Amino acid sequence: MFLNDKILVGKSDKKELCILPKMANRHGLITGASGSGKTITLKVMAESFSDAGVPVFMADVKGDLAGTAQAGEMNENVTERVKNLKLDDFEPKSFPVRFWDLYGTHGHQVRANVEQVGPEILSIMLGLTEAQEGNLAIAFRVAEDEGLRLINLEDLRAVLAYVAENRSKYNTKYGNITVQSIGVIQRSLLTLENQGAGKFFGEPALDINDFFVQDSDGRGMINILHSVKLFQNPDLYASFLLWLLTTLFASTPEVGDQAKPRLVFFFDEAHLLFNGMPSYRLKRITQVVKLIRSHGIGLYFASQRPTDIPDEVMSQLGNRIQHTLRAYTPAEQKIVRASADSFRTNPEFDTAQAILELGTGEALVSFQDAKGAPTIVERVTILPPQSQMGVLDDMARNKIINASPLAGKYDTEVDPESAFEIIQKMKAEAEEIATAPASTVAQYNAAQTAPTSKPQTYAEYLEATKNGRQTVAAPVIEEKPSATKTTKKSSTEKEMDKYRQRAIGNLIGSSSSAVGRSLTNKIIKSLFK
């Protein structure tokens, strides 16, 4: 509940434990064993931030957070907890919710083009080694340098094949390219598609500003990512959320310390992100966690054990909620002691013992005070949620989706001309030139190299001469520039030059005979002299 300009999370007989809005972007941690009440805590916090006017993003891995869109019920358990906690202002109510789905079935479609995802996040999705990631990065760089847009997986596969076929051309400039690594990447892409993730790559891409929304009453929008199916592929789930987090960081400006966050991002099942993560990648994530608070974004990790979070990241999490842990083995007991040691000691109870004794819905809590220092740990009962607990039926969900201002914005995929189509054209032109009569190719070269001609592909040239719009060796004449001015190629002409160079490069590779190579060399000399 949002009371007295504070995020009320839990209460004891003596104290109320609240997150101060201006300290909410100092990040946080929610931990506890399965069934200890972490999901309810996430839900209560999301509701409170919404009432404070702060938009929220959270992944729904079980499907039971969707009920936030409907008002809860005052059943026996809720009534008893409200009475015990003396919550006089408590009332069931719904909250503004926007549903999202990577697969596009239970929410607005989430898409990003391959360029936006980038080689690093894509490598995590594909489970690549560092060497394989290097080959993928080269493919991205070649695509960027040669104007081959990477929109969907079809584009990426085409560029990978193109790079492999022309690796001798790129090895010196970009580094060693191996057919074996390219093959592994291609097979991994196929696996990713079989998981249904191919729908994620494309356009229209997600506009991250659609998360930063309030409803007509000034309450923050609760963005819920339907993750029931996504969570069945844990690596994809973790890497997708990591992409979303880094996109938020890259797409938002620095705003410094604010009275409240611009957005709160909950990263549930965070252990999946850090399992087996190499040190070079952990450094970058740690940097994002450190710097994203200056963008007005609060980040809250949720996991079973505090040891799931690396120390470098843990040191950035100032607001902590610890539900019960189970300790039947020495290793588990060590985790309990480590968790207890992360809190400021309360002389009224033994922290480690309290962690083992906590009941469902209870937690040990320490938030940052107005000066940014962690408060003494307190044992509290978490508030009940005001919205519905449990799943939302499909009819109610679809009603909310269809009534959203975003209805239709992301529904239909578009496929602009990109790497796949360009490479296909390059191959087609190279093949056509290779099989054309030498006289026709020479005439084409003459038309293209004339100082006043307009750039054309070979197919465009043939079409123009066929329809009488252009005569052989008689290029289109334009007004000559003034003698005092320097003639410069337009961006279109430069792109056509690049295009033609790539086509001729492919032609060289396909000229196996001495005669073919001789003819090709003559074409090149006349085309680029």
Residue at 482 is within a domain: no
Residue at 246 is within a domain: yes
Among residues 200, 220, 242, the one where a domain terminates is 200
- CB burial of residue 403 (10 Å; 0-12, 13-18, 19+): exposed
Lowest mean pLDDT among 93-102, 129-138, 428-437, 490-499: 490-499
Give the C-alpha separation, 38 to 358, whole Å. 13
Give the C-alpha separation, 319 to 157, whole Å. 44
Residue at 408 is within a domain: no
Q: Are residues 157 and 305 part of one domain?
A: no
> CATH no. for residue 249?
3.40.50.300
Q: Are residues 506 and 439 part of one domain?
A: yes
Helix 114-126 / helix 279-292 crossing angle, nearest 10 deg = 130
Distances (CA, A) of 407 to 113, 400, 419: 20, 10, 30
Q: Are residues 351 and 217 part of one domain?
A: yes
Residue at 76 is within a domain: yes
For residue 224, the model assigns a pLDDT of 98
The secondary element (H helix, E strand) that includes residue 179 is helix 179-194
Among residues 403, 428, 454, the one where a domain terminates is 403
Q: pLDDT tens for residues 253-265?
A: 999 889 999 999 9
Q: Are residues 39 and 163 part of one domain?
A: no
Q: How confident is the model at residue 486 (pLDDT cuts 50, 70, 90)?
A: very low
Give the C-alpha separation, 279 to 51, whole Å. 39
For residue 25, the model assigns a pLDDT of 92
Among residues 200, 235, 259, the one where a domain terminates is 200
Residue at 412 is within a domain: no
Q: Are residues 383 and 466 part of one domain?
A: no
Q: Are residues 32 and 119 part of one domain?
A: no
- Give the residue numbers spanning the domain of 159: 114-200
Q: Are residues 216 and 135 part of one domain?
A: no
Q: Are residues 235 and 213 part of one domain?
A: yes
Please count the structural domains in the chain: 3
Residue at 414 is within a domain: no
Alpha helices in 127-166 (DSSP H): 130-145, 153-165
Residue at 274 is within a domain: yes
Q: By percentage, how much of the chain surpasses pLDDT 90? A: 69
Q: Are residues 140 and 68 part of one domain?
A: no
For residue 505, the model assigns a pLDDT of 53
Q: Are residues 251 and 385 part of one domain?
A: yes
Q: Are residues 243 and 183 part of one domain?
A: no
Mean of pLDDT over the chain? 87
pLDDT at 359 over 60: yes
For residue 443, the model assigns a pLDDT of 76
For residue 469, the model assigns a pLDDT of 57
Question: Rounded mean pLDDT of 335-355?
Answer: 94
For residue 339, the model assigns a pLDDT of 93
Q: Are residues 467 and 392 part of one domain?
A: no
Lowest mean pLDDT among 62-71, 113-122, 158-167, 436-445: 436-445
Tell the residue number behind the tokens 């990591």, with chain if given. Answer: 242
Question: Rounded mean pLDDT of 439-467?
Answer: 70
Residue at 413 is within a domain: no
pLDDT at 308 over 70: yes
Distances (CA, A) of 358 to 77, 122, 226, 380: 18, 41, 30, 9
pTM of the model: 0.82
Angle 174-175-179 from CA coordinates, rounded to 5°: 110
